[in-house]
Amino acid sequence: MSTRPLIGVSTYLESRASWGVWELPAALLPLGYPRQVQAAGGIAAMLPPDDPSYARSVVARLDGVVIAGGPDVEPVRYGAEREARTGPPARERDAWELALIEAALSSGTPLLGICRGMQLMNVALGGTLVQHLEGHVELPGVFGTHTVKPVPGTLYESIVPDACTDVPTYHHQAVDRLGRDLAPSAHAEDGTVEAIELPSPAWALGVQWHPEAGQDTRVMTALVRAAT
């Protein structure tokens, strides 16, 4: 590519992180995210939580947006009460990333949601979430693997046409009621919705697994191509 597209990636926000002699609050991102963007031909720009009113001007400077994985979405965002196994809220991230999603959708900027990012896409469009799901986390802090199957005729199937694919997974929540205009584009063997998308001409795809934790770069490459 003569000009590498600029891909913004939302970040974690941690009250304490350590490196060298330092232990400080940090906005951070697992290295797999920028490495996959770079391997796909893009330039990665970290987007730490900011005032949501700036989201439109930020997205206007980008060629594509990735909403990264992370903590559970606060249930109040989809009109539910918090259940016992739902994690603590990450309100700054929720507000900022929902604003990024809305800005990307309204401007037609290519958008990829990963794990939490897919769930936020669903919530942004009026959908709801299952607050606890068994069987999609094998060991705490360790990515597991399970099989996903594409839905024929979808954007996701055009990117990954394999009859089934093993993907890196780590989540305990999932899409329940789909948001406006969203369609499921892949499922796990237990029926869990593993990918969602908006119809053409939008390029908006969410995947429940973590492509940045594996070797298959096809999803990120498709985003970068759409952003070029």
Residues noted as catalytic: 115, 210, 212
How far apart, in Å, are the Cα atoms of 185 and each of 116, 150, 168, 195, 224? 17, 6, 17, 5, 19
Residue 83's region, left for phi above 0, alpha for psi from -120 to 50, else beta, is beta
How far apart, in Å, are the Cα atoms of 174 and each of 7, 86, 116, 118, 217? 25, 12, 9, 9, 23
d(CA 144, CA 104): 30
Nearest to residue 210, comparing CAs of 137, 158, 161, 149? 137
Block residue for tokens 């958008």: 111
Block residue for tokens 């770069």: 217
Residue 158 DSSP label: H
**Number of residues that make up the chain:** 228
Strands (E), 55-171: 64-67, 111-114, 129-130, 144-150, 165-169
